[in-house]
Amino acid sequence: MTAENKIKDTVTANDVVLFMKGTKSMPQCGFSSRVAGVLNFMGVEYADVNVLEDQEIRQGIKDYSDWPTIPQLYVKGEFVGGCDIVTEMTLSGELDQLLDKNGVSYDKDAAEKIREANA
Binding residues for [2Fe-2S] cluster: 29
β-bridge mates for residue 73, sequence order: 18, 81
Residue type, 24: K
Please check whether residue 61 is in contact with residue 33, taking contact to mean a CB–CB distance below 8 angstroms. Answer: no
Strand pairing of 47-50 and 72-75? unpaired
Q: Residues at the annotated binding site?
A: 29
Cα–Cα distance, 57 to 17 (Å, whole number): 14
The answer to whether 107 and 43 have CB atoms below 8 angstroms apart is yes
C-alpha span between 33 and 43 (Å, rounded) = 15
